[in-house]
Amino acid sequence: MRRSTRLLGSLFEFADPTDPENRAWARGVEPREIHKRVLRVLSDRIEDALLQLSISATPTSSALDGPLTTWLAKLFARHLRPVVANTVNFLHARNAQTGSGSLDLTLLLLERLTITVRLTVHQDRVSALLASRDLRLADLDADPFKAFAVRWVAWCVSPPGRDLSLLVDYEHVYGVLQSLMRDAGVTTPHTRWETFRHLASGGTLRLGSVSYDVPQEFWRTVNPDWAISELAEALLALRHRGANGGLNRTRIKEALHLQRLDRDIGDAWTRYGQWLEDAPETRGEIETRLGTLLPF
């Protein structure tokens, strides 16, 4: 890695382009609003490009420097058009060879292209660097967006798929536990706990077609007052714990949050696809823009 690239990495930090939080803008949004964003991303106006850029600073108590923000905004606007255009052109060429073009793949591409690019600026480091070396922003010999653009494009052209496996596991565990408690006539936290202990009394808890090995350490960690949802999270933490062991419900809750978010985002884009199906002229407008997009 070039020294200048490492240096920029210490000054400007990008969120992972695959993070569902970058696509959260579409969650619960009506198809017409999604369409407006798609058209703006496929435009060639600088102000439309800046729709996608979100800059925050550390330390948070300090306001972003005006020239720094302007410099970053111009760099991003210059990069966005080639990223979008070259990605689209590559996929069109690939689909022409494989015959795999479809509305579903178009929607997936648009979802990935319309992300919010979240950038954190370590403002104190930037100021210190410029002061210590008597530099101007224009003197920096590398572009902070280049490395991010490579990761972004690689993700855009990668195979489709949403990993909702943990969420599916959770909903299964929660649903079966809820059914078992209902059948047992559970009405209080105490009876819920006693029923749960009885179900796992042999060191194995069977929930439908799935069995959980429940070691003694599990009982020293869980709380008798936990709700069914919390017990379900604890069982998932038990099954998915890392090499260090432990019962990290926090990690499970965070992963479930992201998978719920990803599912909701997928639902929003599915509704947008159905909206396009019902509006052939609007769908044609999108396809025309994608087909004529040029990198410069």
Strand order in the sheet with 53-58: 12-14, 117-122, 53-58
Considering only residues 220 and 173, tell me which one the structure prediction assigns the higher pLDDT. 173
- Supply 220's token pair: 């020293």
User: 214: buried, middle or exposed (CB in 10 Å: 19+, 13-18, 0-12)?
Assistant: buried
Confidence of residue 243 (pLDDT cuts 50, 70, 90): very low
Taking the C-alpha atoms of residue 83 and residue 71, their distance in angstroms, rounded to an integer, is 19
DSSP 255: H
Q: Three-state DSSP class for 249?
A: helix
Task: Please state which of the ranges 117-121, 129-133, 171-175, 274-278 shows the lowest mean pLDDT.
Answer: 129-133
Q: Three-state DSSP class for 121?
A: strand
pLDDT of residue 296: 43
Q: What sign does the CA torsion over 77, 81, 82, 88 have?
A: positive
* Nearest alpha carbon to residue 177 among 193, 157, 160: 193
What's the pTM?
A: 0.85
pLDDT of residue 295: 54
pLDDT of residue 9: 63
pLDDT tens profile 86-129 = 888 788 777 766 666 688 888 999 999 999 999 998 877 777 77
pLDDT average, residue stretch 279-292: 84
pLDDT average, residue stretch 63-84: 79
Helix (H) / strand (E) element for 205: namely: strand 204-207
Judge whether 69 and 55 are in contact, CB under 8 Å. yes
pLDDT of residue 188: 95
Taking the C-alpha atoms of residue 20 and residue 254, their distance in angstroms, rounded to an integer, is 12
The yes-or-no verdict on residue 12 having pLDDT over 70 is: yes
DSSP 15: P
- Supply 295's token pair: 């990198």
Residue that has been written with the tokens 């255009």 in this structure:
85
* Nearest alpha carbon to residue 215 among 243, 238, 190: 238
pLDDT average, residue stretch 6-16: 78
Task: Please state which of the ranges 18-27, 125-134, 232-241 shows the lowest mean pLDDT.
Answer: 125-134
* Nearest alpha carbon to residue 38 among 55, 26, 22: 26
Amino acid at 129: L
The yes-or-no verdict on residue 7 having pLDDT over 80 is: no
Confidence of residue 276 (pLDDT cuts 50, 70, 90): very high
- Supply 216's token pair: 């003694």
pLDDT average, residue stretch 158-180: 94
Q: Average pLDDT over the chain, rounded to whole?
A: 85
pLDDT tens profile 197-211 = 999 988 899 998 888
pLDDT of residue 113: 92
